């Protein structure tokens, strides 16, 4: 018998897991009850409401076993590449190689949340002089110091130039801790001058052809370095195959977003949507398995849409969400006050856009890298947000600030101004630290007010 | 003469001047810097380009906010040139572009420097700046004109550096700003050089509005013998190759500016090479790091400097909303110098 779609607590998941097993659930090697992750330290799970499907179970288990996967890769003699900052470009190149796994050490920024500050990573960063005036990505510095969370990569790459100063500054510190870094330049994406040759980038931004050529040159430099490091040729053919595989993941995610953000009632909670979207970045260290995880989610979402099932009441207020949250709990909070996410720009929309397959591989990847919303003007980013918010019939926009992040000081002004001016929608800016428990009443009030304003009445809980 | 305002040392003053503009170093409002030398914003101050005031906004570097305020207020400048050297100023430029009061140019300065491509990108940006200046009525300089302008500024900088030992730190800082505007500026009058323990000042910019910092250090018994802040002598171009300026002046100029050692370069080894060389040469006894709140680049470097420095290091952060920070800063300087004695 089909169980209605809903969001459940971890305690409820214990029972649900037993039911699934009794019904014949088969899981991959990393499967098991979610409870075990709490026992291993991921305490935040106890405060979250999670989707009750087997597909969501697999998603969470996939996410929360990444460190094990990386350690297995090392034990099996695979090379490990740490790719800092670019969010979706260098991993496509790395996964085109054999016996290489790539991941974002920056992803450690969620460890203080998931482990409810029991990691000591922020304290270690403090001791290194990188305090709370930095973005929570400073947890990465702590992780490199204690070396107990992920295996230390054999090589690190980091994009710098038009990137946030937090990561750039912390990456520089990593070098002095003895971790070799391959720096590459991503220039500030500017508007083409009148008469200047321009290239349309994935996602719709435009860039001067000379900037694309420059980035292509930088990626050539990375290719040469990766070939030398991995002892393999990274030919165009290999890259094309890698791009095709990455595009399969991106296509799955576009379809998931289309269904998950447009169907009413909402078929998949915002939290699971966020986690799923993150798989685009480095495939959670296993590209083939990431496709399997997404396929199962898609099957579940399609089933729910066909059955008219949702995890939230129909007609929940449609909210477009800007920036990822340092505390995942906040995605639950929006839904608790009567909202639902109908679109998102979590800083890596360029990792969701299809990589052109009709261009030379590094040309295509250069275009994708330049399409990063953070390398251009926040006005460009705001334009894309407005377009997507309009297309998804958003009734309100939340700009979620990342505390201390160098881009968050001013970008919210530009984005909020554009949304109000062009769409005449209510906008709220909130700041989300890694643990929001103490702030929850005020965050709840702000989100409630937004939902009530946008929905024309008190929110539905 | 039409002026072009700028406030970053990676913008070659010669290039602005050779296009027929008067370079103007952006003067920043007094309020908000140096640990609150003055009071809070007044109610009648204009909003910034139609946006709410950005000063005091959480997460915004006070210098970036002050720059936005200065550029947004009534300006006599024909244009403003900002750079991408730090993320906050890059965003400030983007904010200003939304509702510009004057034409604004954002110079893309690469963080990497090891490759010919990075250097080529910087040169291409200077050429793009030239097209921008020409569009505002400037004239592209002939090579010999540019070489002549470079020579004049080189001589002005050399004269100032030669006079350094006879100037107070405050007067020297004023002279450094002057040679970023005018090759014919008068040298500051020889003043009573500061006495006391030789110190180096390192870090982000020290705007004119913050020059009391120099006095505080002097009164506490210190003497700044190396101003290695962002607007100090560290970021003067590293000796333009004069003979080369006759053949290829723009390339020579670009190379000299591209070699400026700074904290945002990746890797930033040249900064440490410069400091190592100059600290030894000037027999520095202590290092004062001055940085703005929310400046990640300098903030992250403080611990590194402390580990690396052969002399004690004092970390001074400057906020824009901390009423007591002026007193706190003075107290920290006094304690540091007491410790050094």
| pLDDT for residue B36 is more than 50 | no
Cis omega before residue A265 (within 30°)?
yes
Residues in chain A with pLDDT values less than 70: 1, 457-461
| pLDDT for residue B194 is more than 90 | no
Q: How many CB atoms lie under 10 A from the CB of residue B93? A: 25
Cβ-based contacts under 8 A for chains A and B = 151
| Residue A252 to chain B, least CA–CA distance (Å) | 33
Question: B268: nearest CA in chain A?
Answer: A172
Look at residues A161, A76, A68, A147 and name the one whose alpha carbon lies nearest to residue A105: A147
A107: which DSSP letter? G
For chain A, the C-alpha Rg in angstroms (whole number) is: 21
**Phi and psi dihedrals of B292, rounded to 5?**
-90, 145
For chain B, the C-alpha Rg in angstroms (whole number) is: 19
Question: What pLDDT digit, counting tens, does each position of B267-307 carry?
Answer: 999 999 999 999 999 999 999 999 998 999 999 999 999 99
Buried b (16+ CB within 10 A) or exposed e, A384-410: bbbebbeebebbbbbbbbbbbbbbbbb
CB A173 within 8 A of CB A130: yes
pLDDT of the residue at A456? 77
Report the C-alpha gap between B15 and B126 in whole angstroms: 8
**Whether B299 and A133 lie within 8 Å, measured CB to CB:** yes
Give the HSE-up count for residue A387: Cα atoms under 13 Å, Cβ half-sphere.
9
**H or E stretch including A208?**
strand A206-208
Strand order in the sheet with B79-83: B22-25, B3-6, B79-83, B104-107
Q: What is the mean pLDDT of the segment spanning B304-313?
A: 97
pLDDT band at B188 (very low <50, low <70, confident <90, very high): confident
Higher pLDDT, residue A93 or B78: A93
| Residue A340 to chain B, least CA–CA distance (Å) | 28
Which three-class secondary structure state does DSSP give residue A79? strand
Report the C-alpha gap between A124 and A130 in whole angstroms: 9
Q: Show Cβ contacts of residue A350 under 8 Å, excluding neighbours closer than 6 positions.
A: A87, A88, A202, A203, A368, A369, A371, A372, A373
- Residue numbers in B near A210 (CB within 8 A): 124
Which three-class secondary structure state does DSSP give residue A440? helix
| pLDDT for residue B53 is more than 70 | no
Both tokens of A377, joined, read: 């003007």
Say what the pTM is: 0.95
Q: Which of residues 161-220 of B touch A (CB under 8 A)?
A: none
CB A21 within 8 A of CB A283: no
| Residue B268 to chain A, least CA–CA distance (Å) | 8
Look at residues A390, A100, A121, A95 and name the one whose alpha carbon lies nearest to residue A245: A95
Report the C-alpha gap between B321 and A57 in whole angstroms: 47
Question: A418: nearest CA in chain B?
Answer: B98
Give the HSE-up count for residue A144: Cα atoms under 13 Å, Cβ half-sphere.
29
CB B300 within 8 A of CB A170: yes
Look at residues A176, A167, A161 and name the one whose alpha carbon lies nearest to residue A140: A167
**Whether A409 and B86 lie within 8 Å, measured CB to CB:** no
Question: What pLDDT digit, counting tens, does each position of B198-255 carry?
Answer: 999 999 999 888 888 999 999 999 999 999 999 999 999 988 888 899 999 999 999 9
Q: Which of A410, A412, A430 to mutate to test the interface with B (most CBs of B within 10 A)?
A: A410
Both tokens of A118, joined, read: 């029991």
DSSP for B294-327, please give it: T-HHHHHHHHHHHHH-SS-EEEEEE-SS-TTHHH
pLDDT of the residue at A459? 42
Contacts of residues B142-148 at CB distance under 8 Å and 24 or more positions apart, as own/partner, are: B143/B246, B143/B248, B143/B249, B143/B250, B144/B246, B145/B18, B146/B14, B146/B15, B146/B18, B146/B245, B146/B249, B146/B250, B146/B253, B147/B245, B147/B246, B147/B249
Question: What pLDDT digit, counting tens, does each position of B117-159 carry?
Answer: 999 999 999 999 999 999 999 999 999 999 999 999 999 999 9
Both tokens of A150, joined, read: 């992920």
């Amino acid at each position: 018998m089909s169980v209605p779609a809903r969001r459940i607590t971890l305690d409820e998941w214990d029972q649900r897991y037993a039911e699934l097993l009794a019904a014949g659930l088969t899981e991959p090697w990393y499967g098991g009850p979610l409870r075990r992750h709490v026992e291993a330290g991921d305490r935040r799970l106890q405060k979250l409401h999670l989707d009750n499907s087997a597909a969501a179970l697999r998603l969470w288990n996939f996410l929360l076993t990444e460190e094990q996967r990386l350690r297995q890769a090392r034990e099996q003699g695979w090379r490990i590449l740490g790719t800092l900052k670019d969010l979706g470009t260098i991993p496509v190149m790395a996964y085109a190689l054999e016996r290489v796994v790539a991941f974002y050490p920056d992803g450690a920024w969620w460890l203080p949340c998931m482990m409810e500050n029991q990691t000591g990573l922020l304290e270690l960063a403090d001791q290194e002089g990188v305090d709370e005036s930095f973005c929570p990505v400073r947890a990465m510095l702590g992780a490199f110091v204690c070396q107990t969370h992920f295996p230390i990569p054999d090589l690190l790459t980091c994009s710098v130039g038009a990137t946030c100063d937090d990561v750039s500054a912390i990456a520089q510190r990593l070098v002095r801790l003895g971790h070799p870094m391959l720096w590459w330049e991503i220039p500030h994406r500017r508007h083409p001058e009148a008469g200047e040759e321009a290239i349309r980038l994935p996602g719709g931004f435009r860039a001067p052809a000379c900037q694309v050529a420059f980035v292509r040159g930088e990626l050539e430099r990375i290719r040469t370095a990766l070939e030398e490091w991995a002892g393999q040729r990274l030919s165009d053919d290999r890259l094309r195959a890698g791009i095709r595989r990455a595009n399969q993941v991106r296509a799955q995610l576009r379809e998931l977003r289309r269904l998950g953000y447009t169907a009413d009632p909402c078929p998949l909670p915002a939290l699971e949507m966020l986690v799923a979207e993150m798989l685009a970045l480095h495939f959670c260290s296993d590209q083939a398995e990431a496709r399997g995880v997404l396929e199962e989610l898609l099957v579940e979402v399609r089933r729910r849409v066909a059955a008219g099932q949702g995890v939230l009441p129909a007609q929940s207020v449609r909210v477009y969400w800007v920036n990822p949250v340092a505390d995942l709990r906040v995605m639950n909070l929006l839904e608790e006050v009567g909202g639902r996410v109908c679109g998102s720009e979590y800083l890596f929309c360029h990792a969701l856009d299809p990589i052109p397959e009709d261009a030379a591989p590094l040309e295509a990847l250069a275009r994708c890298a330049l399409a990063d919303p953070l390398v251009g003007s926040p006005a460009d980013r705001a334009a894309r947000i407005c377009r997507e918010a309009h297309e998804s019939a958003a009734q309100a926009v939340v700009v979620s600030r990342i505390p201390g992040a160098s881009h968050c000081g001013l970008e919210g002004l530009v984005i909020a101004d554009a949304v109000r001016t062009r769409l005449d929608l209510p906008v709220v800016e909130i700041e989300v630290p890694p643990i929001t428990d103490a702030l929850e009443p005020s965050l709840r009030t702000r989100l409630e007010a937004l939902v009530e304003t946008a929905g024309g009445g008190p929110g539905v809980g | 003469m039409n002026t072009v305002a700028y406030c970053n040392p990676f913008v070659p003053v010669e290039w602005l001047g050779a296009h027929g503009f008067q370079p103007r170093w952006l003067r920043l409002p007094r309020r908000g810097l140096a640990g609150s030398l003055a009071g809070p914003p007044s109610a009648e101050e204009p909003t910034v380009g139609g946006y709410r005031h950005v000063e005091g906004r959480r997460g915004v570097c006070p210098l970036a906010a002050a720059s936005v305020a200065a550029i947004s207020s009534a300006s006599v400048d024909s244009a403003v040139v900002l750079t991408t050297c730090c993320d906050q100023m890059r965003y400030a430029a983007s904010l200003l572009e939304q509702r510009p009061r004057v034409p604004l140019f954002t110079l893309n300065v690469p963080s990497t420097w090891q490759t010919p491509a990075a250097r080529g990108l910087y040169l291409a940006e200077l050429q793009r700046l030239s097209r921008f200046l020409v569009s505002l009525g400037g004239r592209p300089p002939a090579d010999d004109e540019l070489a002549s302008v470079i020579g004049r500024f080189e001589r002005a900088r050399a004269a100032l550096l030669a006079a350094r030992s006879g100037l107070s730190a405050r007067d020297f800082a004023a002279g450094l700003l002057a040679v970023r505007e005018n090759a014919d500026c008068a040298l500051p009058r020889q003043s009573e050089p500061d006495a006391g323990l030789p110190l180096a000042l390192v870090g982000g910019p020290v705007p004119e509005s913050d020059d009391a910092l120099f006095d505080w250090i002097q009164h506490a018994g210190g003497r700044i013998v190396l101003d290695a802040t962002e607007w100090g002598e560290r970021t003067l171009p590293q000796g333009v190759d004069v003979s080369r300026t006759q053949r290829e002046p723009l390339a020579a100029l670009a190379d000299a500016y591209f070699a400026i050692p700074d904290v945002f370069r990746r890797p930033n080894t040249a900064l440490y090479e410069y400091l190592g060389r100059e600290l030894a040469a000037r027999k520095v006894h202590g290092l004062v790091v001055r940085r703005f709140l929310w400046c990640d680049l300098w903030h992250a470097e403080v611990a590194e400097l402390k580990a690396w420095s052969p002399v004690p290091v004092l970390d001074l952060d400057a906020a824009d909303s901390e009423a007591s920070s002026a007193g706190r800063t003075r107290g920290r300087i006094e304690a540091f110098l007491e410790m050094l004695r």
